[in-house]
Amino acid sequence: MAEAPPQESTPPTIPDELELLEPRPKWPTVVGWLSVVLGLLALVSNGSGIVMNVFLQSWLASVTAPAGDPLPTMTFTPAVIAFMMLKLAWGIPLVIAGIATIVRKPAGRPLHLIYVIGFSITTLIASYLGYQMLQAYINSQEVVQWLAEHPNDPRGMGLKGGMSTWMTLIGLPVSLAYPTFCLVWFAPPGRSERALRQDAEEELV
For residue 119, which amino acid is it? F
How many distinct structural domains can be found in the chain?
1
Kindly tell me if the per-residue pLDDT of 100 is higher than 60. yes
- What domain range includes position 70? 26-204
Please report whether residue 153 resides in a domain.
yes
pLDDT above 90 covers a percentage of the chain that reads 35
C-alpha span between 198 and 7 (Å, rounded)? 29
Please report whether residue 199 resides in a domain.
yes
pLDDT higher at 123 or 200: 123
Q: Which residues of 124-142 are buried (b: 16+ CB within 10 A; e: fewer)?
A: ebbbebbbebbeebbeeee
Q: At what angle do helices 189-204 and 27-50 cross, to 10 degrees?
A: 110
pLDDT (tens digit per residue) in 144-167:
888 788 777 766 776 766 667 777
Please report whether residue 46 resides in a domain.
yes
pLDDT at residue 32 in the model: 95
Residues whose CB is less than 8 angstroms from the CB of residue 79 and which lie 6 or more positions away in sequence, other chains included: 129
Please report whether residue 99 resides in a domain.
yes
Please report whether residue 2 resides in a domain.
no
Please report whether residue 122 resides in a domain.
yes
Residues whose CB is less than 8 angstroms from the CB of residue 143 and which lie 6 or more positions away in sequence, other chains included: 72, 137, 159
pLDDT at residue 2 in the model: 54
Kindly tell me if the per-residue pLDDT of 178 is higher than 90. yes
C-alpha span between 170 and 179 (Å, rounded)? 16
Please report whether residue 6 resides in a domain.
no
Number of neighbours of residue 173 by Cβ within 10 angstroms: 9
pLDDT bin (cut points 50, 70, 90) of residue 139 is confident
Please report whether residue 21 resides in a domain.
no
Kindly tell me if the per-residue pLDDT of 205 is higher than 50. no
98 touches 35 (CB < 8 A): yes
